[in-house]
């Protein structure tokens, strides 16, 4: 059983649609990060949230950290083909980052 459950595992949508990816746990995290990974490359950090209820926006991406710091969501507005990739959430747990299994997003033009 993984500490961080991500859903959905796979998402295929048309360009222009909105989507939300979820990251859930029964454990409390000190911080929550979201990364995006493209094939053949390493993950790239998108955002770090540290306060319960915190909301951060990065252009068309909106990140939220749950009030109890047990969950997070990533919402993408008007998805574009360039958003295609593997999205990973990672929670600060003790002295290490624990990663979710990822959501593979494919945006078709």
Chain residues that interact with other proteins, rule: CB under 8 A = 2, 30-31, 33, 37, 40-45, 48, 50, 86, 88, 90-93, 95-99, 101-102, 104
Report in angstroms how near the CB of residue 44 gets to other proteins at its nearest. 7
**C-beta of 17 vs 93, nearer to other proteins:** 93
* Smallest separation, CB 89 to other proteins (Å): 11
- DSSP string over 6-67: EE-SEEEEETT--EEEEEE-SS--S-EEEEEE-TTS--EEEEEE-STT-EEEETTEEEEE-T
């Amino acid at each position: 059983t993984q500490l961080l459950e991500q859903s959905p595992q796979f998402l295929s949508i048309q360009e222009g649609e909105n989507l939300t990816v979820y990251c859930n746990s029964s454990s409390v995290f000190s911080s929550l990060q979201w990364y995006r990974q493209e094939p053949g490359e390493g993950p790239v950090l998108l955002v770090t949230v540290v306060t319960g209820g915190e909301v951060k926006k990065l252009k068309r991406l909106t990140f939220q950290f749950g009030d109890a710091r047990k969950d997070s969501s990533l919402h993408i507005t008007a998805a574009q083909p360039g958003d295609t990739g593997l999205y990973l959430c990672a929670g600060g747990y003790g002295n290490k980052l624990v990663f979710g299994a990822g959501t593979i997003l494919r945006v078709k033009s």
